[in-house]
Amino acid sequence: MGYDGMKFLHISDLHLGRKIYNVSLLSDQEYLLGQILSIIGKEKIDTIFISGDIYDKHVPNTEAVICFDSFLTNLVEMNVEIFIIGGNHDSPERIQFGSRLLEKSKIHISGIFQGVLNKSVLHDEYGAVNVYMLPFVKNTIAAFKMNHKSFSDTEEFIKTLFSKENIDERERNILLYHGFVINGNRIEDLERSDSELQVGGIDYVNANVFKSFDYVALGHIHAPQWVKKSSVRYSGSLMKYSFSEANQKKSVTIGEIKEKGNIEFKTISLDVKRDMRIISGPFEEIKKYAEKTDDFIQIGLTDENIISYAVEQLREFYPNLLELIYLKKQNNENISDLIEIQDVEKKDKFDLLKEFYESVYEYDLSEDNELYKIMKNICEKAEEEGVL
């Protein structure tokens, strides 16, 4: 451990393997993971906390798995203690695989909730640091694992779980958790974006539930932020994953925990390979001042009339133009939601339906899946009858 105390780096929501508008972000993600490795070396980091949503889908693609494997291998070679929990995008069983073997390499993984808090004890010159891990779990599964009839909400589940644990508040305690945490009932204080899908079983937990912990390393919300008046922090996502995040500055959180009650924090910004930006104005003005870039772009046109072949013309400068919207009304009809998305009309209708299902339910449909066959059959019949 470090001479002055344990120095840790907190990240979350890597979403490795994500695509936006069918454009792979993996090279951008590899670029950012490389930066994190450089920061770890420069800052002499002892421990890394990765608070869930390692992958973007329950069944990640091969390239995403290889990317994370390479990242972990580099961390082990740098002699970093590694803590990983599963998020709602992760498959608990896949995250958990090999965890007992990996303990020998100082990789601590909590993917499957087993009814108790996973705990590891680290040591520095100030004594013990207890690191607890609570992966994402639905309340129904949590109740079953804890032999509890049911929980009314996530807060009741966590309070019940903590009451069964022997958490010594005189010691230094850190928790990794993936979920929604707020200050009191101030939901509006939490900066959120539309790339955080709220799925069944997730609700808000008040920050005061975590009073036994010196630091809570959160995942799930993509904007880096403290939950106000607490020691609870979202590190934010690895990179921008929607245009609602365009104004966010992504970073990593670094903390150094010394004696009880003494933690120093700082953040280090991440430089992206391709940014996500929003540009608005009249078509001719945007075209006149356009500078060629590989950034991901959303353009909002303020023109009264629809511009013919606007996307094709603007892609000469913005090859990664992903959305074009009109911001004004025409003929008393609001066309602000008119979006041109590349290649949608060229795609097979079943492929569009399959992609929509997988995006909403975060579940990959394979050809041997019964639902896959039903959806395929419906699309084929609809096309034969001229419905699609």
- DSSP secondary structure, 3-15, as one string: SSSEEEEEE----
What is the per-residue burial (b if ≥16 Cβ within 10 Å, else e) of 68-100?
beebbebbeeeebbbbbbbbbbbbbeebbeebe
Q: How far apart are CA 270 and CA 374, in angstroms?
A: 44
What pLDDT does residue 366 have? 73
Q: Tell me, yes or no, whether 157 and 280 share the same domain.
A: no
Q: How far apart are CA 275 and CA 223, in angstroms?
A: 15
Region 357-362: mean pLDDT is 58
Q: Which of 115, 87, 308 is nearest to 201 (CA)?
A: 87
Q: Tell me, yes or no, whether 301 and 374 share the same domain.
A: no
Strands 172-178 and 127-134: parallel
Region 18-37: mean pLDDT is 96
Tell me: pLDDT of 361 over 80: no
Out of 269, 301, 322, a domain closes at 269
Helix (H, G, I), strand (E, B) or coil at 166: coil
Single-letter amino acid, residue 148: H
What pLDDT does residue 237 have? 97
Q: How far apart are CA 34 and CA 273, in angstroms?
A: 11
CATH number at residue 57: 3.60.21.10
Question: pLDDT tens for residues 89-106?
Answer: 999 999 999 999 999 999
In a domain, 343, yes or no: no
In a domain, 1, yes or no: no
Three-state SS sequence of 217-261: EEECCCCCEEECCCCEEECCCCCCCCHHHCCCCCEEEEEEECCCC
In a domain, 342, yes or no: no
Q: Which of 134, 118, 117, 94 is nearest to 220 (CA)?
A: 134
Q: How far apart are CA 72 and CA 104, in angstroms?
A: 13
Q: Where on the phi/psi map is residue 70: left (φ > 0), alpha (ψ -120 to 50), or beta?
A: alpha
What pLDDT does residue 27 have? 97
In a domain, 363, yes or no: yes
Place of tokens 């365009």: 246
Q: How far apart are CA 18 and CA 29, in angstroms?
A: 9
What pLDDT does residue 193 have? 64
Return the higher-pLDDT residue of 112 and 166: 112
Q: Tell me, yes or no, whether 181 and 99 share the same domain.
A: yes
In a domain, 344, yes or no: no
Tell me: pLDDT of 330 over 80: no
Q: Tell me, yes or no, whether 327 and 356 share the same domain.
A: no
In a domain, 70, yes or no: yes
**Other Cβ atoms closer than 10 A to 259:** 11
Tell me: pLDDT of 372 over 70: yes
CA angle 350, 355, 356 (to 5 degrees): 100
Tell me: pLDDT of 324 over 80: yes
Region 250-257: mean pLDDT is 97
In a domain, 286, yes or no: yes
Out of 237, 269, 301, a domain closes at 269
What pLDDT does residue 195 have? 54
pTM: 0.82
Region 140-156: mean pLDDT is 94
What is the per-residue burial (b if ≥16 Cβ within 10 Å, else e) of 191-230?
ebbebbeeeebbebbbbebbebbbbbbbbbbbbbbebeeb
Q: Tell me, yes or no, whether 318 and 380 share the same domain.
A: no
Q: Among 223-237, 261-275, 364-378, where is mean pLDDT lowest?
A: 364-378
DSSP per position, 35-85: HHHHHHHHHT--EEEEES--BSSSS--HHHHHHHHHHHHHHHHTT-EEEEE
Q: Tell me, yes or no, whether 256 and 380 share the same domain.
A: no
What pLDDT does residue 370 have? 76
Strands 215-219 and 172-178: parallel
Q: How far apart are CA 138 and CA 88, in angstroms?
A: 9
What's the structural domain count of the chain?
3
Q: Tell me, yes or no, whether 102 and 159 share the same domain.
A: yes
Q: Tell me, yes or no, whether 362 and 379 share the same domain.
A: yes
Q: Tell me, yes or no, whether 208 and 322 share the same domain.
A: no
| Paired residues of 268 in beta bridges | 252
Tell me: pLDDT of 46 over 80: yes
Out of 269, 292, 314, a domain closes at 269
Q: Tell me, yes or no, whether 260 and 319 share the same domain.
A: no
* CA Rg value for the chain: 23
Q: How far apart are CA 222 and CA 266, in angstroms?
A: 18
What average pLDDT does the chain have? 88
Range of the domain at 369: 349-384
219: which 2 tokens?
A: 């995942």
Q: Tell me, yes or no, whether 177 and 202 share the same domain.
A: yes
Q: Tell me, yes or no, whether 60 and 206 share the same domain.
A: yes
What pLDDT does residue 373 have? 81
Q: How far apart are CA 283 and CA 292, in angstroms?
A: 16
In a domain, 366, yes or no: yes
